[in-house]
Structure 1
Amino acid sequence: MSPEFSRTYRIDTLGQAPRQVSIDADEGERTALAARFGLVGIARLGAEATLSRNGETITARGTVTAAVTQSCVATGEPVEDAVEEEFRIEFRPHPESAGGEEEIELSEGEMDVVFYDAAAIDLGEAVAETVSLALNPFPRSPRAEEALRAAGVKSEEEARAERSPFAALAALKGDKR
């Protein structure tokens, strides 16, 4: 199955000079990505990037922008958000290994590495994944606080105050009266 937003670049077409590219998802691609990421919708998704090659390693640097609509975690109401995220992704060939199920350890500095199998990289899929990682994990509408309070959910400050050792002391002091 191919990714919903595929923009491939053949390795053999990338020379020594950096190449500027601009990619935008069409309506069908945005609809498919919204379904994949559990979003209400994606009104806009695109990226400006520079592709540069050093041997078999391709580096993509740029900025991804998107306009997304998520569901509020408390009310289910639509919450619109904008994503603007700088990225630096290295595309490398899969390392030589004995087995296909072998784990590959990456250091913290290598966390934005995408391995490729064939003679091309897929910048579109890398951009889509970058957007998914940049999404607000707990989108809230203006009515979220009210809905959470009505459901009996305490605010972070209230919960923190109840766990405080001073809260226990205050409770003991209150019991002596």
Structure 2
Amino acid sequence: MPPEAPEFSRPLALGRVGPEGRAETLEAGPAERAALARRFGIPGIDSLRVRFDLQPEADGAIRATGELEAEVVQECVVSLEPVPQRVAERFVLRLLPAGREPGDGPEDLDEIETEHDVADLGEVAAEQLALALDPYPRAPDAVLPAEAGSAEGAFAALAALRRRPAP
């Protein structure tokens, strides 16, 4: 069985990035956004737009500088209410020619391997969105039970222990 295609696929052959570079703007359609929301386990993605500036490098890789903008809905970690959020993220990575192994140094840019010198910019965008999502979305009025009993919250109990005289 062939591998499943990504929900938001925009393949680009690296050879189509000429010596002057290339700009690409991607926008996910409603079905793609719904499929990505299911993949990420969130209630919804209302918009997803990514701009790429692609520049060739001397070693055959392509440097991709991107700007991601999205409107998403996540569940509050306290109340499970929907929390609309705006995501705006910039990123820089390298698209590697087929057969090139990514570097693993701490100072290296993230590197994406390609098959047959074709990069899927849609999948790159989806991965960047996944990384940019708030891991603990919280509604503005959501209060944890420990916070509800005291204005000082959980730290009030610790402060009281600190003030107690030693036996």
Could you say whether these structures have the same fold, taking a TM-score greater than 0.5 normalized by the shorter chain as the test? yes
**Using the alignment, how far apart are the partners of 1:161 and 1:111 within structure 2?**
44
Q: What TM-score, normalized to structure 1?
A: 0.80
CA deviations 1:4-56 (Å, max 9, x no partner) are 11111102222111111111001110000000001110010011111112242
Match 1:170 to one of 145, 156, 163: 163
**Using the alignment, how far apart are the partners of 2:69 and 2:165 within structure 1?**
54
**Using the alignment, how far apart are the partners of 1:160 and 1:169 within structure 2?**
11
- 1:112 is displaced (CA, Å) by 1.8
Residue 14 of structure 1 pairs with residue 17 of structure 2: yes
Partner of 1:51: 54
CA deviations 1:79-130 (Å, max 9, x no partner) are 000011011111113436xxxxxxx761222252111122211111111111
How many residue pairs get aligned? The number is: 160
**Using the alignment, how far apart are the partners of 1:169 and 1:43 within structure 2?**
48
- 1:72 is displaced (CA, Å) by 0.7
Q: What TM-score, normalized to structure 2?
A: 0.84
**Using the alignment, how far apart are the partners of 1:76 and 1:52 within structure 2?**
43
- Residue 50 of structure 2 contacts residue 125 of structure 2 at CA under 8 Å; is this kept in 1? yes
Match 2:110 to one of 104, 109, 112: 112
Q: How does 1:72-151 map to 2 (within 5 A)?
A: 72-93=76-97, 94-95=99-100, 106-145=104-143, 148-149=144-145
Larger gyration radius, structure 1 or structure 2: 1
- Residue 64 of structure 2 contacts residue 94 of structure 2 at CA under 8 Å; is this kept in 1? yes
- 1:136 is displaced (CA, Å) by 0.8
Identity between Structure 1 and Structure 2 (%): 36
Residue 31 of structure 1 pairs with residue 69 of structure 2: no
Stretches of structure 2 that go unaligned for 5 or more consecutive residues are: none
Which structure features the higher share of helix residues? 1
The DSSP-based 3-state class of the residue aligned with 1:128 is: helix
Q: Which consecutive aligned stretches of 4+ in structure 1 deviate over 6 angstroms post-superposition?
A: none
Which stretch shows the higher mean deviation, 69-78 or 104-113? Answer: 104-113
Per the alignment, do residues 57 and 105 of structure 1 end up closer, same or farther by CA in structure 2, a change over 3 Å counting?
closer
